[in-house]
Amino acid sequence: MKKRTFIKLASTAGAGMLIAPLASCGGSNPADAPKVKGSKTRPFLYEQEPLGYDFSALSPAIDPITMEVHYGKHHAGYVAKLNRALRSAEGALDNLTLIELLKSLKPGDTALRNNGGGHYNHTLYWRTLTPGGAPEPEGNLKQELEDTFGSLDAFQTEFSTAAATRFGSGWAWLMRDSDGALKVTSTPNQDNPLMSGIAESTGTPLLGIDVWEHAYYLNYQNNRKAYITAFMERINWDVVASNDLT
């Protein structure tokens, strides 16, 4: 998606029904995460966007049952709880995009932090995966990864290590930090780099891998590294590049 189109989508996200299926969107940072009409007192609520591919489409890297439970139960649960939290929050939140909401959070905003983060992170995750995959990025992003990390292999090693060593549940990220540099980082639970009042490294997430056990345990059991390797072969690098809002 062209940046101008994206900005328009992002700025109108609170204006009403906005469903952006993955295929038509072409990938973007989920500032345009769809909202649906709610009630008079809470006009806009979030909903999951369509997955864009079948539950079996990423197999054998990610098995169909994991996909079905992860998308249909875990992610759906974050969305339901986010909407519940929004119903009891101050009305001013209605005018915020999901990105703006996450940037505004304080550490004690537990329900919005866990479930707003959960919704954002999973939306990005589904969008960034693709049945075809692509072994490596191209163009400007490839060049910048090489310049920043030394080589694509070095980037992959750093990203995989961040994912493998995240203790407990969380995410590893390729992000653009507030100084404009690419960086690999990780966050616990459903935190992400947008949470400037919470995360150690803040910026724009470009690529995120979910390393909660629910993302891989059925197929890989305790072998998180095998899941990470499989994930790296299913990345849609065009989407990763389009997540770069700078």
Residue numbers of the site for Mn ion (CB under 5 A)? 74, 210, 212
Q: In the complex with Mn ion, which residue's Cβ is closer, 120 or 149?
A: 120
Centre a 10 Å sphere on the Cβ of residue 76 and count the other Cβ atoms it contains: 16
Q: In the complex with Mn ion, which residue's Cβ is closer, 79 or 182?
A: 79
Smallest separation (angstroms) from Mn ion to the CB of 201: 21
CA atoms of 73 and 81, how far apart (whole Å):
12
| 218, 42 contact by CB (below 8 A) | no
Smallest separation (angstroms) from Mn ion to the CB of 171: 9
Smallest separation (angstroms) from Mn ion to the CB of 75: 7
CA atoms of 118 and 102, how far apart (whole Å):
11
Q: In the complex with Mn ion, which residue's Cβ is closer, 59 or 114?
A: 114
Smallest separation (angstroms) from Mn ion to the CB of 46: 16
Smallest separation (angstroms) from Mn ion to the CB of 53: 17
- Token pair recorded at residue 229: 């390797």
CA atoms of 34 and 16, how far apart (whole Å):
9
Q: In the complex with Mn ion, which residue's Cβ is closer, 10 or 199?
A: 199
Which residue's C-beta sits nearest to Mn ion? Answer: 210
Residue type for 192, please? N
Smallest separation (angstroms) from Mn ion to the CB of 139: 30
Q: In the complex with Mn ion, which residue's Cβ is closer, 69 or 226?
A: 69
Q: In the complex with Mn ion, which residue's Cβ is closer, 44 or 70?
A: 70
Smallest separation (angstroms) from Mn ion to the CB of 121: 7
Q: In the complex with Mn ion, which residue's Cβ is closer, 191 or 244?
A: 191
